[in-house]
Structure 1
Amino acid sequence: MKFFIRCPAWCRVPTWETIRRIGELPMLGRASFFAIVFVPIVVGIWPAVRAAVGAYDDVLRRVSVVLCKTSETVACGVEDLRQLTVELAQQADEVGLHRQATELDRAMKVVRGQSRNLRHALARIREDLRAQSLPSPKLPSVWVCGYFGALFVLMGHWSYHAGAPEKVRKFTRAEYAIEARKDRRATTATTEEVNQAGREADDDYDRLAREALWLRLLSGLCYLVGIVCILVMVLLQARAVVRAAGG
């Protein structure tokens, strides 16, 4: 009690009345509990999604390796054929078969040109396959923020129900004063006595709303962090929508 009297003003700001109003915000309702149930399910199946993407990338990688080896094999084969052609052309030229040597050299140039075109085509296919490779997907930041926001909101609800007095959880300040006036009026009290009962009920409600300081601070902090996470989630989603729209 002495600590409560000496504690700074900021300690007394988040009363149970204020925390109750925060907890009743629509954004902290069913959507938060849906997120805390839905996100763990997604996290559970996410490794399968990453494995599927990884398998797709492995197929592309293996095809790219095969194309690379094929290109190297074609290049080596053409080089061997070129050397053989040079030797045959020299032998043909030595025995006086100049026309045949010239035709053989011309045919070799055609083969080399077609081989070059084939290697260029294989290189383009490899580049196209590399462009189609998918990055390993990470869990979207929106879902992460939504999950932690829902988790902190749930902790705020728990600390509220654990620390808030029953009368504060059951009645608002106005409802509590009305009930007090109604009870006093039932005893045939005067108007002044009825009004006095209302003022006493208001003071009593204020006292109840300031009980359990540390649970109040815990509940208020959890709600605050949860709201910040939800707002970040909304901003991230809005940015994603703008990007998808080409903005």
Structure 2
Amino acid sequence: MLQTILSSERGGADHGWLKAKHSFSFSQYFNPARMGFGPLRVINEDLVAPTMGFGMHGHQDMEIITYILDGELSHRDSMGNQAAILKGQVQKMSAGRGVRHSEFNSRDDSITHLLQIWIEPNVTGIEPEYEQQNLSDLPVHDGWRAIAAPNGQWLGQKGAFRLYQDAVFLVAHADDGLSERHYALGPQRLAYVHVATGSATVNGVRLSAGDAVQMSDESSVDALLSDGTQVLLFDLPALD
């Protein structure tokens, strides 16, 4: 079964310095039909104005992934980490028993465009963790690059972020021309596909940037990507 979620159907917020689109209920946007999908709880697309950002605030028991589409973000946290997250990089925090952090657009001349992704963990109260990598350094197979996976391993390859959930987070990026991608789904698995940039046809459904499709009882994800397209794929367990 496939369900399409168009970009125009997402929730939104405009705080002046922050323009956001919410795929699932978040903050002041509440839609009881859009509370998440499996353990995938948040996909926020944020545009952060120059020199602006999120002040120090806390999280607990959540896997938080920041995916930079354009610009850069300055990160600081209570674990002592301080870094700039650049375009083409991705960051993961396991909030565990509690962490505080701030994130600001460190540029004074350009907007930062990012995706903030939250996945509910299957363990709680762990020691917080922080990781940051270049996308190009993450493991790749059949055109899919593994950003996060259980124990940081995917198809026998190491190097992905360690995800405290029975889920895999992948990205496919078409650099030139039309590009086909295939991904086999195991039995009783869910899939959520989000088009971050460009356009793609996923299991016969035409999607543009910001659109998504969620799948249950499907055997595979089959995508045709146009030039410059980035497609995010979440292979998820079905929760009771």
TM-score (norm 1): 0.17
Give the greater-gyration-radius structure (CA): 1
Q: Kindly indicate which of the two structures has a greater share of residues assigned to helix.
A: 1
What is the TM-score normalised by the length of structure 2?
0.17
Quick check: which one's strand share is greater?
2
